[in-house]
A and B are shown apart, each in its own frame.
Chain A
């Protein structure tokens, strides 16, 4: 508490309460929907109070989604994406902010532009890459005539092939390629006082030493925020996993959940879908609740 201002405190509480309610109403409705039977969930006006079918619906969703095995897959993917993205983003942003080199603006924009065209729009050519991640390099070798050259010299025909379908790298790698993390880290690194860099250089610390000893501890809240966002993002992905996992037993929780959503002339069993959604949101929920503890201030100024 910075100072005492009772009226402001009351006002604050009211605003927070209203916002919490506005944010929670949809989630509450999802919870209520998960406790109805199929007629109840489709009735108008909607029910605002829970019914008695929660356990049935949860069990049915668990069975239909085959969640017992899917949770492991999703967890590996989400953790892989979170860790991969943080590491990649930090390294790239570090290079962009703390080094003078000619290509840095170009590199930053090259990374940044990837935000500007969603996967859906380029899905067909992206699938071809998933079927063989080395296809671009093979194409370059072919186009430059290197394939032929190597074949004449060594007698070996170069045919690069790395099939990503139904594999963890296929699920993880494309999702860590986007630019949000890099951009966020760039923003954070730009706030680091110049004196810190000077001091580090004066002490004779190399760039990597500076990264590890100074920047990593300083970026704790940023990292926590990014990790939260990335875990939820990765966990909730379904279009890419749907595309990459052609064998049903390798799919993720969200893919299975999206398969439960009724469309068109199907039976609108939203009660099952919502029960599935509740189950599916448990891990991200746990992460969100755990990570927010890291947003606490304190470390930042003691480091300085």
Chain B
């Protein structure tokens, strides 16, 4: 037993004897994020740029795996009193964060640290997603995106579509024509609810849930199943699938929708503008493609789509001096230079008007590698967000998305009709909302 104790003692010494060996005259603070791979590398570059840009603060940025792991680890750390100063939380975790109350609101943070921020500079539909009921931003949008349609221009021209179709009716015609012209996969889709369901409802200004999609309170209920257009839309997708116009492409089938598009196998697909970079860098040689606005059904007015991605939250319970650093970091991120740096190296969109203007002035969107990226900005800025296009403020959204996937799969596999699937989804969704409401009994959204 003796040697075990020595080992323990040695371990103890190691813990105590090795504090962070960094330059201590700088105020250090930490930032945990949920990106991996090449995106994580870009975040590290951003952090380095911040550290190099000034002498007072030292940010330490740590990738915590994917979004879910980052949130989970942060909660675990928070409950043990070891939380980071700043954390990145994905869009669907927003309601959880807001109800936790364990964050320093963006406005309070910046004004306490003496920054005079022009809040109207943040692009309205982006800011609205992360704002409280008074419209005040609580967190800082960071990696932001929205949904677009990816369109193979060359294949479109072959069947007489010079431009991407603007309506679902026209898209249907195009898909039929492509199939007749011999395409094995005119359009690919997966069972992710974001583009074909959530963003679809935004583009048509249709409610997903009552109380302005949950902004009005935790007692909201799902209502999408009562919307004729939603039913029509999903029945269309199913029929088109049966007609061979749509192929299902998921990681389980060996290829996701973006890869199916980039490889030229499928001519149309739906996804995040952030995948622009992936398509560009993995595209089959000579692929002629562009992102396009989501189609709308004929006779329906077009509305703005919602922001996706993640935002940065300053967490409570850190030493006051660290918040100085956090505020400096947020101010640094909002500079047009930082925005351009970030957007150039990723597929994400700028989040401030000045950043967007600067990129436009510099001809960013005209560069060949950025073909069609302005479509995302157009989609977001189409008009002032309505109460229904601001976002979804609904609890347990992660589980709702899983239920959506399962119900859609059941319908597409022919186990039940699309109407049954939608009804069942709404019922499950409402159970999730009631459970969330009960968990946060007595609390209200800020």
Give yes or no for direct A-B contact (beta carbon below 8 Å).
Answer: yes
Q: How far is the CA of A165 from the CA of B254 in the complex (A)?
A: 39
Given A260-B37, A263-B36, A265-B274, A39–B282 Cβ distance below 8 Å? yes
Interface hits, A118-163 → B, CB 8 Å:
123-124, 126-128, 130-132, 162-163
Q: Smallest distance from the beta carbon of B415 to chain A beta carbons, Å?
A: 28
Chain B interface residue count, CB cutoff 8 Å, equals 53
- A contact residues around B271 at 8 Å (CB): 265
**Bitwise interface map of A from 268 to 304 toward B, beta carbon under 8 Å scored 1, else 0:** 1100110000000000000000000000000000000
- A contact residues around B282 at 8 Å (CB): 38-39, 42-43, 267-268
The verdict on A58 contacting chain B, using a C-beta distance below 8 Å, is no
The verdict on B367 contacting chain A, using a C-beta distance below 8 Å, is no
CB-contact partner of A127 in B15, B36, B79, B254, under 8 A: B79
The verdict on B81 contacting chain A, using a C-beta distance below 8 Å, is yes
Quick check: B72 and A266 within 8 Å, CB to CB? no
Given A266-B36, A267-B281, A259–B76 Cβ distance below 8 Å? no
Given A44-B255, A127-B80, A265–B14 Cβ distance below 8 Å? no
Closest to A166 in B: B15
**Bitwise interface map of A from 9 to 38 toward B, beta carbon under 8 Å scored 1, else 0:** 000000000000000000000000000001
Pick from A93-101, A223-231, A243-251 the stretch touching chain B: A243-251
Q: How large is the interface on A (under 10, 10 to 19, 20 to 34, 35 or more residues)?
A: 35 or more
User: What residues make up the interface of A, taking CB atoms closer than 8 Å to B?
Assistant: 38-39, 42-44, 64, 87, 123-124, 126-128, 130-132, 162-170, 172, 242-243, 246-248, 258-269, 272-273
Closest to B20 in A: A247
Q: Smallest distance from the beta carbon of B369 to chain A beta carbons, Å?
A: 13
Pick from B204-212, B258-266, B419-427 the stretch touching chain A: B258-266
CB-contact partner of A269 in B38, B62, B347, under 8 A: B38
Quick check: A247 and B60 within 8 Å, CB to CB? yes
CB-contact partner of A260 in B18, B36, B72, under 8 A: B36
Given A163-B15, A169-B15, A264-B67, A123–B76 Cβ distance below 8 Å? yes
Q: Smallest distance from the beta carbon of A12 to chain B beta carbons, Å?
A: 34
CB-contact partner of A169 in B8, B62, B64, under 8 A: B8
Quick check: B64 and A242 within 8 Å, CB to CB? yes
The verdict on B39 contacting chain A, using a C-beta distance below 8 Å, is yes
Q: Smallest distance from the beta carbon of A119 to chain B beta carbons, Å?
A: 11
Q: How far is the CA of A273 from the CA of B65 in the complex (A)?
A: 14
Pairs A-B, 4 closest by C-beta atoms:
A262-B37, A127-B76, A169-B11, A265-B274
Quick check: A267 and B278 within 8 Å, CB to CB? yes
Q: Smallest distance from the beta carbon of B5 to chain A beta carbons, Å?
A: 12
Quick check: B62 and A265 within 8 Å, CB to CB? no
A-B contact pairs, 23 of them (CB 8 A): A39-B282, A42-B263, A44-B263, A123-B76, A124-B75, A126-B76, A130-B80, A166-B15, A167-B14, A172-B11, A242-B64, A248-B60, A258-B65, A259-B63, A259-B65, A263-B36, A264-B67, A265-B274, A265-B278, A267-B277, A267-B278, A267-B282, A269-B38
Q: How far is the CA of A39 from the CA of B278 in the complex (A)?
A: 9
Quick check: B36 and A262 within 8 Å, CB to CB? yes
